């Protein structure tokens, strides 16, 4: 029995300082409210990381890589910025503004050297859904597709679409004038973007970045794939050249397809042919780029080539005038006068901004950490949240909409030699050139070409379908989360899909702890280790000892499952066994009394045998391997105390092994080991083997004493 009990090799616990909330709060407030020149300097450098790294910029080593990556990303960015405005229900100029300001702001505030921040298809879709809803509520005709012909920035917003103008003074609150359809759409997007940015800044201030941990990888992938199906569906009408209103609410994907088939006879052959050619060229170029990416020093600027070529063909062939092909219309040069986001609109879009803020932050931080790990540096998630928040707040005053980090453009930056965020300045400069000089040249660009660019950009998300069978073999639960999130995002709505995905992910975690794996352990031959007898062969059982492992925390939601599993594996329910014993004793006493009466005795002589242990059992001890029990709540503690008492009444001992300090503390506080913890040395053991040795030696000692 030497060395078998906890008492013989008791470990001395370290003394921990008691946590005092008042003192902690006082200390943090004192630290936060103190002010010094050095602290102000550190705060400024922390808020603007560019101040730290730009003076140390290695010009000879980094400048050419940054310039090259910035130019290439800028070239890719221009057609995508124009295209994604179709998703957001806004004018092409808004996409260019958004790309310009986001790159500039992230240059000053971001901690990632490689992330490309700007327009993202998923964000554009979510913004567009809110814009369309508010436009319909405001009474605008969503099927109206009249072309904008004004060339000045102000005319684009207030003097153009004369067939669809309404008085909106009470809603906008910023202008005492008539606001057209495009103006109102932008006011909705700006208010939504501002609120989303405010949420992100508040999350950073209150250290709420942990919210993103509830967005698992499979859930985010499923959400992106489901949203990609919706994006693809929304773009089909441009591929076919048919005019149908954008659908709002639940079931957008299904309703849109129904409307497409209802109007299929109105297909524009010019748009169909153009779409087929553009998709073929874009897909072929992407496939060639993927296949020969090791040989190509820079990615092929296929989108820009397609846009320029399609614009020239559309302009000189007058595809809009001859075939009625829908075109982008006038894109003004220069910058529109800044405008304060509509205060009256903000309460109406406050809830819609929550998923935008969370998804934007989650994608940005995950990409930043991914590339930081790849290149061996660190990022600050809280600062990233601040950066992306101000990438939304400040641009919302300049007619921009919600931004996020984009994987495709970040991969391009990395592949083309990007070293720092100087490349973002170069990309912003490319967009600025387009804004100042080249924007009007895209007047004749067909919308179906932009739709093709959007659809081809979804290849990565849609390819996830290929990996589903393999993922199912790896982890069925993660695959199920992906499928549920994807289907709910596509078939219900993107916002509801996000909510369903988060809730389902949490339920899967709860289910894993509520119905965990349980095991009866056997001893590995000639060792002190024990493993699951169902999973491993050639394990030996310990005579008259059952070893039970419960692989989850023990708390209120799974305590009943714990008891059922323990009773099933041990083959004994102590409560029922005790009831049977009492019933047998009662019958025995009644029989003895009857026999005594027959013998003429007034009462039995009290020699009725008492059954202290149930007959037919092959064990006297149950050892609970608690190595997988991370914590106990009150219900779990009561459950353990209950089985200790119930099994003791029928002569079976319960021993605990491999408990962590949290579980031990809970047991001590709940008086599991008796008054002053007097029974701790006979109930608690550091290893399963020491518990087995104690149980076996105690049985031997009892046997010897009986003899």
Task: Give 211-239 pLDDT, tens digit per residue.
Answer: 777 778 888 888 888 888 988 888 898 89
Say if residue 619's pLDDT is above 60. yes
Q: Tokens 């014993």 identify what position?
A: 581
Residue 207, C-beta contacts closer than 8 angstroms, at least 6 positions apart: 382
- The neighbour count for residue 29, using CB atoms within 10 Å, is 10
Say if residue 379's pLDDT is above 60. yes
Short-list 131, 190, 182, CA closest to 161: 182
The pLDDT of residue 704 is 56
The SS3 of residue 144 is coil
pLDDT band at 456 (very low <50, low <70, confident <90, very high): confident
Q: What is the mean pLDDT of residues 647-672?
A: 90
The pLDDT of residue 156 is 47
- The neighbour count for residue 300, using CB atoms within 10 Å, is 15
Among 42-56, 311-325, 550-564, 611-625, whose mean pLDDT is lowest? 611-625
Q: What is the mean pLDDT of residues 196-204?
A: 93
pLDDT band at 572 (very low <50, low <70, confident <90, very high): confident
Highest-scoring range by mean pLDDT, 41-45, 175-179, 272-276, 444-448: 272-276
The pLDDT of residue 193 is 95
Measured CA to CA, the distance from residue 299 to residue 72 in angstroms comes to 8
Task: List 357's β-bridge partners, or say none.
Answer: none
pLDDT band at 166 (very low <50, low <70, confident <90, very high): very low
Angle between helices 447-456 and 269-291 (to 10 degrees): 30
Q: Are 299 and 414 in contact (CB under 8 A)?
A: no
Alpha carbon of residue 69 to chain centroid = 29
Residues of the chain with pLDDT > 70: what percent? 87
The pLDDT of residue 143 is 59
pLDDT band at 142 (very low <50, low <70, confident <90, very high): low
Q: Are 332 and 152 in contact (CB under 8 A)?
A: yes
- Cα separations (Å) of 299 from 68, 77, 294, 370, 408? 11, 13, 10, 21, 11
Q: Are 257 and 233 in contact (CB under 8 A)?
A: yes
Say if residue 360's pLDDT is above 50. yes
The SS3 of residue 622 is strand
Q: Tokens 């009662």 identify what position?
A: 586
Say if residue 176's pLDDT is above 80. no
Q: Are 296 and 72 in contact (CB under 8 A)?
A: no
Q: How far apart are the first and last CA of the chain?
A: 19
The pLDDT of residue 603 is 52
Measured CA to CA, the distance from residue 353 to residue 199 in angstroms comes to 8
State residue 4 phi and psi, 5-degree precision: -90, -25
Say if residue 429's pLDDT is above 90. yes
Q: Are 624 and 550 in contact (CB under 8 A)?
A: yes
The pLDDT of residue 705 is 57
pLDDT band at 466 (very low <50, low <70, confident <90, very high): confident
The pLDDT of residue 32 is 64
Top pLDDT among 640 and 704 is at 640
């Amino acid at each position: 029995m030497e060395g078998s009990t906890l008492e013989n090799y008791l470990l001395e616990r370290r003394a921990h300082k008691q946590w005092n909330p008042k003192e902690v709060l006082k200390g943090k407030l004192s630290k936060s409210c103190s002010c010094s020149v050095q602290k102000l300097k550190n705060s400024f450098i922390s808020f603007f990381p560019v101040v730290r790294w730009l003076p140390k910029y290695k010009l000879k080593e980094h400048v050419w890589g940054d310039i090259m990556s910035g130019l290439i990303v800028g070239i890719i960015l221009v057609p995508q910025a124009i295209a994604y405005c179709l998703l957001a229900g806004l004018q092409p100029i808004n996409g260019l503004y958004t790309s310009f300001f986001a790159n500039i702001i992230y240059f000053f505030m971001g901690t990632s050297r490689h992330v490309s921040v700007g327009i993202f298809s998923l964000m554009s879709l979510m913004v567009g859904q809110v814009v369309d809803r508010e436009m319909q509520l405001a009474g605008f005709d969503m099927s109206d597709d009249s072309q904008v012909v004004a060339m000045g920035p102000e005319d684009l917003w207030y003097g153009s679409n004369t067939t669809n103008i309404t008085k909106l003074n009470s809603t906008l609150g910023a202008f005492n004038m008539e606001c057209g359809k495009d103006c109102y759409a932008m006011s909705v997007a700006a208010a939504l973007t501002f609120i989303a940015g405010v949420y992100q800044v508040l999350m950073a201030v209150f250290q709420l970045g942990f919210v993103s941990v509830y967005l698992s990888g499979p859930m985010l992938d499923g959400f992106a794939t489901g949203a990609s199906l919706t994006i693809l569906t929304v773009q089909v009408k441009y591929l076919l050249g048919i005019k149908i209103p954008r659908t709002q609410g639940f079931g957008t994907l299904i309703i849109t397809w129904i409307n497409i088939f209802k109007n299929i006879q109105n297909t524009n052959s010019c748009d169909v042919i153009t779409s087929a050619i553009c998709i073929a060229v874009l897909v072929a170029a992407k496939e060639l780029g993927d296949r020969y990416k090791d040989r190509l020093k820079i990615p092929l600027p296929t989108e820009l080539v397609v846009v320029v070529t399609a614009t020239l063909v559309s302009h000189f062939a007058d595809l809009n005038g001859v075939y009625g092909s829908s075109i982008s219309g006038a894109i003004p040069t220069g910058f529109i006068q800044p405008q304060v986001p509509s205060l009256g609109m903000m309460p109406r879009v406050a809830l819609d901004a929550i998923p935008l803020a969370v998804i934007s932050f989650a994608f940005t931080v995950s990409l930043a950490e991914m590339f930081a790990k790849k290149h061996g540096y660190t990022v600050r998630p809280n600062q990233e949240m601040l950066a992306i928040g101000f990438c939304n707040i400040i641009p919302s005053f300049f007619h921009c909409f919600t931004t996020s980090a984009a994987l495709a453009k970040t991969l391009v930056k990395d592949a083309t030699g990007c070293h720092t965020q100087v490349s973002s300045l170069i990309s912003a400069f490319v967009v600025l050139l387009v804004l100042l000089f080249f924007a009007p040249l895209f007047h004749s660009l067909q919308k179906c070409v932009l739709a093709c660019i959007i659809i081809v950009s979804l290849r990565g998300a849609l390819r996830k379908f290929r990996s589903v069978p393999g993922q199912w073999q790896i982890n069925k639960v993660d695959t199920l989360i992906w499928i549920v999130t994807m289907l709910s995002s596509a078939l219900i709505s993107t916002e509801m899909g996000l909510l369903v995905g988060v809730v389902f992910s949490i339920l899967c975690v709860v289910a894993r702890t509520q119905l965990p794996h349980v095991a009866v352990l056997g001893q590995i031959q000639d060792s002190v280790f024990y493993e699951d007898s169902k999973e491993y062969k050639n394990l030996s059982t310990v005579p008259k000892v059952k070893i039970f492992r419960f692989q989850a925390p023990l708390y209120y939601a799974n305590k009943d499952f714990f008891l059922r599993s323990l009773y099933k594996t041990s083959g004994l329910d102590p409560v029922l066994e005790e009831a049977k014993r009492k019933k047998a004793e009662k019958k025995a006493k009644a029989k003895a009394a009857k026999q005594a009466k027959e013998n003429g005795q007034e009462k039995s002589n009290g020699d009725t045998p008492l059954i202290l242990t149930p007959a037919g059992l092959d064990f006297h001890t149950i050892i609970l391997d608690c190595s997988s029990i991370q914590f106990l709540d009150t219900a779990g503690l009561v459950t353990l105390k209950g089985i200790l008492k119930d099994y003791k009444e029928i002569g079976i001992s319960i021993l605990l092994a491999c408990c962590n300090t949290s579980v031990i503390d809970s047991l001590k506080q709940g008086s599991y080991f008796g008054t002053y913890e007097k029974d701790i040395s006979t109930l608690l053991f550091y290893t399963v083997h020491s518990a087995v040795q104690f149980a076996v030696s105690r049985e031997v000692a009892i046997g010897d004493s009986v003899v």
